[in-house]
Structure 1
Amino acid sequence: MKTPPSSLIYLVFLSLIAALGGFLFGYDTAVISGTITQVSKQFELDVLQQGWYVGCALVGSILGVAVAGWLSDRFGRKKVMFLSALLFTSSAFGCAVAAGFGQLVFFRIIGGAGIGMVSIISPMYISEMAISSYRGSLVSLYQLAITVGFLGAYLINFQLQLVAGGIGDQSPEWILWIFRDEVWRGMLGMEFIPAMAFFVLIFFIPESPRWLLVNKQEAAARVVFARLYRDTTQIQWKVEEVYATIARSSDKGWETLLRPEWRRPMLIGVAIAILGQFMGVNAVLYYGPTIFEQSGLTSGDALFYQVWVGLVNVLTTVIALVIIDRVGRKKLVYFGVTGMILTLLAIGIYFWNGEMLGIGVIWLLVLFLAYIFFTAISISAVIFVLLSEMYPNRVRGLAMSIAGLSLWVGTYLIGQLTPWFLENLTPSGTFFLFALMCLPYLYIIWKMIPETAGKSLEDIEQYWLQRKP
């Protein structure tokens, strides 16, 4: 179905606003990497407390994602995005002025709840608004925004570290406190600006038309569809198509998801969400500077190397965004995960016996960048697209909450356990473990998930219904 250029521009506009939630997700997740050493020294944290500092936001994410689906199915996608924007804003301000480690953890948990909510609401909103032929690319804008958030956090961490040394004693006391003496406060607090922008811009987007139809607001849904489809015949066809999928099930919530035809995709979504976190990417994004320091770099050089990691992440995601609807989801995963396995094994070998083999530290950066390339073009680009496509209109929010919950449980475990892995398994053993975890992920994508590129959400729903046991 061909979309007029004006409709496509409007779709991109809506997708970019929703994707700003992804930027906040990325910034809030990655900014922690530049503050770990400073916060650990200031509050004298041991290795488990250090893991808690990183992982506490993930606890908030678990709480946020656990309720986001239900809230979005009950009150709408747009209202939950408003709530997530408020949580991000409160977290940024609170972290900047936290009086102690306990308050810092509390506000990190608040921000984590915003991450959890936006991690399913933003891609779901984009998926429900998008035309089939552009859905993969538009949902990938959300993943691109996450990577830009990562890069933004790395650049701000690096820049604030440099600026801190040039702030003189004559500056106002609060400037000295936040941007020099305890510069980690400035790193965490800079999120306030994009969080406020996200809150304001949400006023300019409509509610999801599919949610409106599910909740018997047909007139409002037709108004939204009229902005996307200029032909009244297409509008009528879309309304009838959505109503047809709703009519297939009179059940709601858990009653629908526990039916045989939906248990399978729900469990597959849970499996790929949690397995993806044990393939190493978040360990690199959270603990990259720490890992680089273990290879002998200074803290400043480690932050600079992490900027390169973020830059490759962004550029590769742009490539994935352009090709995901042409190449397909599954082929990207086959290519990328194969490359991830090879680079993870090479990184493990470097830490195991790199010096004896005469491999310099620059090669560690090359291997990390290659790993990020393969990750960004495959599992990172595909996961939110697949999760936003796999579930029925009636309970898409609840189903994505379940998959998202498993994703954040896995992310929390990686954030909490990576310092323990690095200390007890050694860096080489840690990366060998990540390589091993890629194999079951590949098998699930190969055997259990259909190619969804070019199919409407209603077509994908029909596919799962036809596979009913």
Structure 2
Amino acid sequence: MIGQEQHTAIKKSSSYLYLVCLVAALGGFLFGFDTAVISGTISLVTRDFGLDAISEGWFVSCALLGCIIGVIISGKLSDKFGRKIVLILSAFLFLISALGCMYAGTFSSLIAFRLIGGIGIGVASMVSPLYISEFAPSRLRGTMVSLYQLALTIGIVTAYFTNAYLASHSGENFSGVVAEKILSQEVWRAMLGLGALPALVFLFSLFLVPESPRWLLSTGKRDKAEKILIKIDGETAARKELDAFATQDVTTVEGSLRTLFRPVYRKALWIGLLLPFLSQVCGINAVIYYGPRILEQAGFTLNNALGGQVTIGFVNVVFTFVAIFTVDKWGRKPLLYVGIGGAVISLVIIGLLFQFGVTSGPWILIFILAFIACFAFSFGPVCWVVIGEIFPNGIRGKAMSLATLTLWIGNFFVGQLTPLMLQGLGSSWTFWIFAICCSPALYLTWKLIPETKGRSLEEIDSYWQEDYLKK
């Protein structure tokens, strides 16, 4: 315990809270940027290396293998060594990947650096929202975690714009052999290498933030955790958090992943496995990645389709702000009900428009934007909020690793199957299948997901205990 005189020297700072959470959210920016930047490089890399269809697919999908590796290792590493050091690792991997891709001399080395970047994505996609959920006070936790999703969407839009800008200036003359090659002759190198700038900012900023107070408590560093909690939310709130942590069942503080398979945490396990998976199979990445192709099938020209893709990116960013401003006011469940319901309706209508040939005019784009908007204030941010809250302290890293893994599995299936569905089933059934896959999330929200607005992580853990005892 730290003394009373030290308590008075520590002052609550809202700006400190926001700055630390914004730094952690930069992991989401890098995640979004690295995921979206690949779309502008595929044809260029295929041309410069003379790739066949298999090699082209490997160039796109190799990062996914890295993501899976990153997710698998990040849970155990973050529980053992802390959240901060693993975030630093992810920033370092992003940096190495961006620079390595920019200067790659062979296709094999390009693949190797893309794989390294994928590991960084996997690590950041799990540890960034985990860190924020443990750092933020309960009354602001939903808002702070939603910053991660906001940063992710901004990363996607930034990648679209930087790709377009660099492509428009390719072919111009630049002084220096290296600059000429990177910025003009093989502009895909600049597209991929530009990620080094935000990676550097992320890396150096992380040295200025503290460790997660929840992780410090779980490793017996109570004094350090107490100082951070007081600075985040004041002495009274910090005392409440510390007392709640002290009364926890020791098996939930120091446990293995087997703890999740105990009957008391069975609901939490199902939520953690299903919610991230369903958030992907609703078709969001099909729209993000294959938007131009879908819009071309609706009769848009290529230039208009790409313009529509940028519009999709902007809507994704704007409606994420709805979650930021409402998730801690209205709660998690209302946003999920409205957003998922709106997404299902939008998907069904898009399928009907394709089915009846109503492809002229703005209607297809309007309802695609409606789907994006519904996802952006519900599934997108609230999924990260919920899975960051529902697991016990001592195994939260491992548990979120498992939950995030199901997200990447869903992402993989959508990425692999969407072109086949568009070609074999057509646009109508593609969107109807996404609507069918999205619908179970409404039942999951109603039946299993508790409302966690305003509850501390320890209170949520106690809820599972009490809920189990009622049976």
**Residue 242 (structure 1) shift:** 1.2
CA distance in structure 2 between the aligned counterparts of 1:181 and 1:201, rounded to whole angstroms:
34
TM alignment of 1:9-408, pairs within 5 A? 9-43=15-49, 45=51, 49-165=55-171, 167-168=172-173, 171-231=175-235, 233-247=236-250, 249=252, 252-354=255-357, 357=358, 359-360=359-360, 362-408=362-408
Identify if the C-alpha distance between structure 1 residues 276 and 10 changes in structure 2 by more than 3 Å, giving closer, same or farther. Answer: same
Contact 1:246/1:393 (CA < 8 Å) preserved in 2? no
Alpha-carbon RMSD = 2.1
Greater shift after overlay, 409-418 or 385-394?
409-418
CA distance in structure 2 between the aligned counterparts of 1:269 and 1:48, rounded to whole angstroms:
34
Task: Name the structure 2 match of 1:417.
Answer: 417
CA distance in structure 2 between the aligned counterparts of 1:188 and 1:350, rounded to whole angstroms:
37
Deviations along 1:419-469, whole A, 9 cap, x unmatched? 222222223322121111111111111111111111111111111112226
TM-score, normalisation: structure 2:
0.92
CA distance in structure 1 between the aligned counterparts of 2:338 and 2:83, rounded to whole angstroms:
34
Contact 1:158/1:303 (CA < 8 Å) preserved in 2? no
CA distance in structure 2 between the aligned counterparts of 1:161 and 1:15, rounded to whole angstroms:
34
Identify if the C-alpha distance between structure 1 residues 351 and 181 changes in structure 2 by more than 3 Å, giving closer, same or farther. Answer: farther
Identify if the C-alpha distance between structure 1 residues 105 and 421 changes in structure 2 by more than 3 Å, giving closer, same or farther. Answer: farther
CA distance in structure 2 between the aligned counterparts of 1:201 and 1:376, rounded to whole angstroms:
27
CA distance in structure 1 between the aligned counterparts of 2:343 and 2:59, rounded to whole angstroms:
28
CA distance in structure 1 between the aligned counterparts of 2:355 and 2:461, rounded to whole angstroms:
47
CA distance in structure 1 between the aligned counterparts of 2:71 and 2:156, rounded to whole angstroms:
20
SS at match of 1:326: coil
TM-score, normalisation: structure 1:
0.92
**Unaligned runs of at least 5 residues, structure 2:** 1-9
**Residue 21 (structure 1) shift:** 0.6
CA distance in structure 1 between the aligned counterparts of 2:420 and 2:123, rounded to whole angstroms:
28
Contact 2:344/2:438 (CA < 8 Å) preserved in 1? yes
Amino acid at match of 1:319: V
CA distance in structure 1 between the aligned counterparts of 2:258 and 2:162, rounded to whole angstroms:
47
**Residue 10 (structure 1) shift:** 1.3
Contact 1:55/1:416 (CA < 8 Å) preserved in 2? no
Contact 2:12/2:233 (CA < 8 Å) preserved in 1? no
Contact 1:144/1:314 (CA < 8 Å) preserved in 2? yes
CA distance in structure 2 between the aligned counterparts of 1:160 and 1:201, rounded to whole angstroms:
27
**Residue 149 (structure 1) shift:** 0.6
CA distance in structure 2 between the aligned counterparts of 1:289 and 1:342, rounded to whole angstroms:
22
CA distance in structure 2 between the aligned counterparts of 1:35 and 1:427, rounded to whole angstroms:
25
CA distance in structure 2 between the aligned counterparts of 1:142 and 1:93, rounded to whole angstroms:
24
CA distance in structure 2 between the aligned counterparts of 1:154 and 1:297, rounded to whole angstroms:
19
**Residue 298 (structure 1) shift:** 4.9
Deviations along 1:386-417, whole A, 9 cap, x unmatched? 01000001111011011011111111222222
Contact 1:51/1:415 (CA < 8 Å) preserved in 2? no
CA distance in structure 2 between the aligned counterparts of 1:250 and 1:380, rounded to whole angstroms:
29
**Unaligned runs of at least 5 residues, structure 1:** none
Amino acid at match of 1:377: F
Deviations along 1:203-245, whole A, 9 cap, x unmatched? 11000111111101112212212312433x5433322211222
Deviations along 1:134-188, whole A, 9 cap, x unmatched? 11101111111111111111111121122225x12x5333233222222222211
SS at match of 2:452: coil
Identify if the C-alpha distance between structure 1 residues 71 and 102 changes in structure 2 by more than 3 Å, giving closer, same or farther. Answer: same
Contact 1:158/1:304 (CA < 8 Å) preserved in 2? no
CA distance in structure 2 between the aligned counterparts of 1:183 and 1:296, rounded to whole angstroms:
30
**Residue 373 (structure 1) shift:** 0.6
Task: Name the structure 1 match of 2:7.
Answer: none
Task: Name the structure 2 match of 1:459.
Answer: 459
CA distance in structure 2 between the aligned counterparts of 1:350 and 1:156, rounded to whole angstroms:
33
CA distance in structure 1 between the aligned counterparts of 2:284 and 2:124, rounded to whole angstroms:
20
Task: Give percent identity, aligned residues only.
Answer: 45
